[in-house]
Amino acid sequence: MRRILLVASLLCFVLGAHAQQEAQYTQFMYNKLALNPGYAGSNGLPCISCIHRTQWMGFDGAPSSQVLNFHLPAFSERVGLGISLAHDRIGPTNSSTASLIYAYRLKMKKGNLAIGTRGTIRSYRINWQNLDTTHSGDGEIPSENTVRIMPNFGVGAYYDADNFYVGLSLPNIIKNDLSYSVSNTENYGRVRRHFYLMGGFIFNLSKSVKLKPAVLMKFVQNSPFDIDLNATAIFMDRFWVGLSYRLGGDSTRGIGESLDLLVQYQVTPLFRVGAAYDYTLSKLQNHSSGSIEIQLDYCFKSKKKEKDKKRLTNPRFF
């Protein structure tokens, strides 16, 4: 059963089903640079973060994703620069992506509006030798591994203030060809354009407790609407505990894809560690023990910011 489900998932991905193709992260609110180039430089300090995700534990060849983000402000914070490195493995497929990011930031009355762009190079590899074919000699299945190198670019807008943020982005504009078939590549095996709308805010519940809701909405043509909803409580600016709900799953249950628990610890004002666990709500829960993530986030002190006590003593909530 596990192999059948895995093969079915791979066929939907490789043969170009109109669905979510980009890696998903439960801790999406700490992965904004990979989703929206306008986020670059918004922290006011050089920052680096990474997330490792193991999805659908218990499946042989289940998705495994990693992302590493680095960004910093430049030219008196009018510009944000960044780099994002990502890797995704699903069964016999491996995808590695490198993105260079530029954002121009405009000072507004109560916040900053940034318009960003990114250029991307993606290596997409299919290890056909790792598959057990039902019928040998099928001309549509290559006998050797396939590697494609694909350029792309994306755009995004990001607005942030002291207590909220909102962003809209299209990370990949070009519909790269992912297919291996020589017969019809117009509707099969194409990179689909993913639109992301994100937002979040923070307010005080008491002197020692803050509440930080966040949302990420995803739009893909001919694919069901997807949304992640999160609410995180922050205690004494140190302990972060959150709960998320992800829409999706199978059509027969209709109760969603997963319910997720997030915990983080602010080791220092500039260093935070976190983890997340997804409890699957769909029928996949009969075959999987859920998904897990580990996240690290660190911002560097800048000589120019040594006198800026506020930035060096307050955690980076956004």
Summarised one tens digit per residue, pLDDT across range 93-131 is: 889 999 999 999 999 988 999 999 999 999 988 877 666
- Is 78 among the domain residues? yes
Of residues 184 and 290, more confidently modeled? 290
User: How many angstroms separate the Cα of 250 from the Cα of each of 75, 224, 254?
Assistant: 49, 11, 6
Calculate mean pLDDT across residues 265-276. 95
Residue 272 has pLDDT above 70, yes or no: yes
pLDDT value for 199? 96
Interstrand relation of 258-268 and 239-246 (parallel, antiparallel or unpaired): antiparallel
What are the residues facing 260 on neighbouring strands? 244, 278
Maximum average pLDDT range among 16-25, 145-154, 187-196, 281-290: 145-154
- Is 198 among the domain residues? yes
CB 285 within 8 A of CB 19: no
Closest to 78 measured CA to CA, from 110, 103, 101: 103
> What is the greatest pairwise CA distance in the chain?
69
pLDDT value for 249? 64
Residue 186 has pLDDT above 90, yes or no: no
Residue 132 has pLDDT above 90, yes or no: no
Question: In which residue are the tokens 């960044």 written?
Answer: 82
Residue 235 has pLDDT above 90, yes or no: yes
Is residue 1 very low, low, confident or very high in pLDDT (cuts 50, 70, 90)? very low
- Is 17 among the domain residues? yes
What is the rounded average pLDDT for all residues in the chain? 83
Number of domains forming the structure of the chain: 1
Summarised one tens digit per residue, pLDDT across range 137-159 is: 665 666 677 788 999 999 999 99
Calculate mean pLDDT across residues 234-260. 86
Residue 67 has pLDDT above 60, yes or no: yes
Of residues 113 and 12, more confidently modeled? 113
Q: Quick one: tokens of 51?
A: 């997330």
Closest to 33 measured CA to CA, from 111, 120, 101: 101
Q: What percent of the chain has pLDDT over 90?
A: 55
- Is 158 among the domain residues? yes
Residue 276 is part of which domain span?
Answer: 2-313
Q: 18-27, 234-243, 253-262, 286-295: which has the minimum mean pLDDT?
A: 18-27
- Is 160 among the domain residues? yes
Residue 121: alpha-carbon gap to chain centroid: 17
N-term to C-term CA, the chain = 42
pLDDT value for 251? 59
CATH number at residue 215: 2.40.160.40
Summarised one tens digit per residue, pLDDT across range 28-55 is: 999 999 999 999 999 999 999 999 999 8
Residue 252 has pLDDT above 70, yes or no: no
182 φ, ψ (degrees, to nearest 5): -95, -5
Cα–Cα distance for residue pair 259/282, rounded to 1 Å: 10
- Is 86 among the domain residues? yes
- Is the backbone of residue 29 left (phi > 0), alpha (psi -120 to 50) or beta? alpha
Beta strands in the chain (DSSP E): 47-54, 64-74, 79-90, 93-107, 111-126, 146-161, 164-170, 194-201, 203-204, 209-220, 226-235, 239-246, 258-268, 271-280, 291-299
Is residue 56 very low, low, confident or very high in pLDDT (cuts 50, 70, 90)? confident
**DSSP summary character for residue 317:** -
Summarised one tens digit per residue, pLDDT across range 79-97 is: 999 999 999 998 888 899 9
Please tell me whether residue 110 adopts helix, strand or coil conformation: coil
- Is 318 among the domain residues? no
- Is 108 among the domain residues? yes
The pTM of this model reads 0.84
Calculate mean pLDDT across residues 184-207. 82
Q: How many CB atoms lie within 10 A of CB 62?
A: 20
